[in-house]
Amino acid sequence: MVIQIDDAGWGDLVGGCLLGFFRKETGEYVVKLIDVIHFRPPNFDRKTYLKEALKLAKKALEELKVSKEEEIEICTGSVLSEIRLTLMEEGYKVKPTRIEGKLQELIENSLLDYYAELGVPRETLTLKSGRDRFYALINWVMEDLGSREKYVKTGWKSWDTKWKYWRPKKKRVLRKTCF
C-alpha cells in the first residue's frame, strides 16, 4: 500500500493550509487544516505551523491505520518538512516526491470548499494555484478588509509592506465620441 501526503493553500495569502492524506489502493482520503493562526504573528515567526502539521499528520496516519511497512510519498513542500523528517526518524518508508493525480485533485477541491466556507465566491477561484487564484483571494479580502483580514496570513512580510495597502486597478471605460 502507498500513502500520499500533499498540502494546498501554502502559497495563498488567505486562509490556513490543508494537508491531504490518500491511500492510493483504496481511495481513502483524509484532510486536515493548519489554522490560519499559525501563519500570523507571533506564531508564523516561531514556525508553529510545522509542529501543527506534524500533529495533524500523526492523527491522519492513525485514522488511516498506516503501518511502517507502507510506503509514504510526501510532497517536497516546506510545510511538510517536519513530517518527512519525523516519519523517517520513526522508521517509516518515506519517499519525498512531487504529488500529482488523484490526491492533488482532491486536496485542491477541498481547498476551494474551505475558501467557500470562509465566504469567497467559488466561481471566482481557479482549481490550480497561482496568480489568478491569488488575485481573486486578495480582491475578496479588499472588498471588506475590516472583517476579512482575520483570514489573511499576516505573518508574511509582504502583507504589511505591500498587500495590505494594495487596491485593484479600476478598469478604464473607453467611450466613443461622435464628431
pLDDT tens-digit profile of 11-44?
A: 899 999 999 999 999 999 999 999 999 999 999 9
Residue 84 cell numbers, joined: 518527512
Give the type of residue at 160.
Answer: D
Q: Could you list the beta-strand ranges (E) of the chain.
A: 2-8, 17-23, 28-34, 71-75, 93-97
Residue 38 cell numbers, joined: 499559525
pTM: 0.88
Q: Report pLDDT for 68.
A: 95
The structural domains of the chain, with segments of one domain joined by +, span 1-167
Distance of alpha carbon 154 from alpha carbon 96, whole angstroms: 29
- The sheet with strand 17-23 has its strands ordered as 28-34, 17-23, 2-8, 71-75, 93-97
* CATH architecture designation of domain 1-167: 2-Layer Sandwich (3.30)
Residue 64 cell numbers, joined: 488511516
Q: Tell me 123's DSSP state.
A: G
pLDDT tens-digit profile of 133-174?
A: 888 999 999 999 999 999 999 998 888 877 777 776 655 444
